[in-house]
Amino acid sequence: MTAIVSPRQWSAVRAAYEAAGQRFLDLAAASPPDVMATEHWSVADTVAHLMTLSRMAVEVARRQQSRSGLIAATTVDTVAALNDSLMRDFPQRDVPGLLKQIRADMDELLQATADATPTDTVAWLGGSRLSIAAVHAHMMNEFHIHGRDVARATRTPLVVPPEEAVLFFDLFMIGIVRTGYGILLENGIPAPKGRVAVQFRSRYSQPVTMVVTDGVVSIEDPGTDVDVKVRFNPPVLNQIMFGRVTKVRGALTGKIRVSGRRPWLLLPFLRYVHMPS
């Protein structure tokens, strides 16, 4: 299948990537580098991680991957090993220098893709194919997720606009299923038996149905033959997918609302279709 990227989405994701990246740069520049942003990473480590990803995004978009073998073998549950490998190659934790490099990579990605066709695909993790638009959406989300880590650690207000966050769901999560996810989901977790269809709705995008049929994930137009209906707030759904917010908290705050004829199937569905956390 071909990625679906409207001209509005292409313009929006480029602007969102720029905005999210600059928010992260400003936040990180004002944060103590030794404060622990996560259990294992300081603010400086987090900045270094974002720098390795911003560099990889440029290489991916230019089709000049320096670690094509490792990238092709990486699944959703071995991303940590890829991250560790990338981080070992960049031991420097000079935050101002790292932030300068991230900004340079952002400018390079925007310039390199200025005249690109947003639905053109490039090789990505696990032998998957990612549209050029989804490359931007992925990095935007990395700025969102890790920006939240730094903001919480430093008790700094940080707002992720839902209009930005929904682009990750639409262009990356839905997009990568359309363009081919390779071995990305091979994680040893049993797939739900038979067919499980989950319809996702948000006030910020068109409804769409993701289906797992005996372990094969596909996208369908909204219809009546769905098991679970999920109405979601985009920033919260992304944080749930990356283990920053629990599913229970999302439900209790009303940011995630689940209904349908078989709502209990959402949990095995999300255990199978999941992101690194």
Q: List pLDDT tens digits, range 234-255.
A: 999 999 999 899 888 998 899 9
Q: Does residue 189 form part of some domain? A: no
Contact (Cβ atoms closer than 8 angstroms) between residue 32 and residue 43 = yes
The verdict on pTM exceeding 0.85 is yes
Contact (Cβ atoms closer than 8 angstroms) between residue 169 and residue 237 = yes
Strand order in the sheet with 195-202: 216-220, 205-213, 195-202, 228-232, 256-259
List pLDDT tens digits, range 35-54.
Answer: 999 999 999 999 999 999 99
195 bridge partner residues: 213
The last residue of a domain, from among 111, 146, 179: 179
Tally the domains of the chain.
2
pLDDT tops 90 at residue 2: no
CA 1 to chain CA mean position, Å: 20
CA 111 to chain CA mean position, Å: 22
Q: Is the same domain home to 21 and 102?
A: yes
pLDDT tops 90 at residue 1: no
> What is the rounded average pLDDT of the residues 264-273?
90
List pLDDT tens digits, range 140-160.
Answer: 999 999 999 999 999 999 999
Residue predicted with more confidence, 90 or 41? 41
The last residue of a domain, from among 154, 179, 204: 179
| Of the candidates 193, 276, 189, 262, the residue with the CA atom closest to the CA atom of residue 230 | 262
What average pLDDT is seen over the chain?
93
Q: Does residue 216 form part of some domain? A: yes
pLDDT tops 90 at residue 15: yes
CATH number for 202: 3.30.1050.10
Q: Is the same domain home to 30 and 82?
A: yes
Q: Is the same domain home to 205 and 163?
A: no
Q: Is the same domain home to 174 and 245?
A: no
CA distances (Å), origin 134, targets 37, 61, 147, 209: 26, 10, 19, 19
Q: Is 43 exposed, middle or buried (0-12, 13-18, 19+ CB in 10 A)?
A: buried
**What is the residue type of 262?**
R
> What is the rounded average pLDDT of the residues 226-231?
96
Contact (Cβ atoms closer than 8 angstroms) between residue 10 and residue 134 = no
CATH number for 84: 1.20.120.450
Residue predicted with more confidence, 192 or 199? 199
Q: Is the same domain home to 223 and 88?
A: no
So what's the pLDDT on residue 189? 77
Q: Which domain holds residue 174?
A: 7-179
So what's the pLDDT on residue 277? 64
Q: Is the same domain home to 84 and 216?
A: no
DSSP string, the chain: ------HHHHHHHHHHHHHHHHHHHHHHHTS-TTSBSSSS-BHHHHHHHHHHHHHHHHHHHTT--TTHHHHHH--TTSHHHHHHHHHHT-----HHHHHHHHHHHHHHHHHHTTT--TT-EEE-GGG-EEEHHHHHHHHHHHHHHHHHHHHHHHT------HHHHHHIIIIIIHHHHHH--TTTT-SSPPPPSSEEEEEEEETTEEEEEEEEETTEEEEE---S--SEEEEE-HHHHHHHHTTSS-HHHHHHTTSEEEESS-GGGHHHHHHHS----
148 bridge partner residues: none
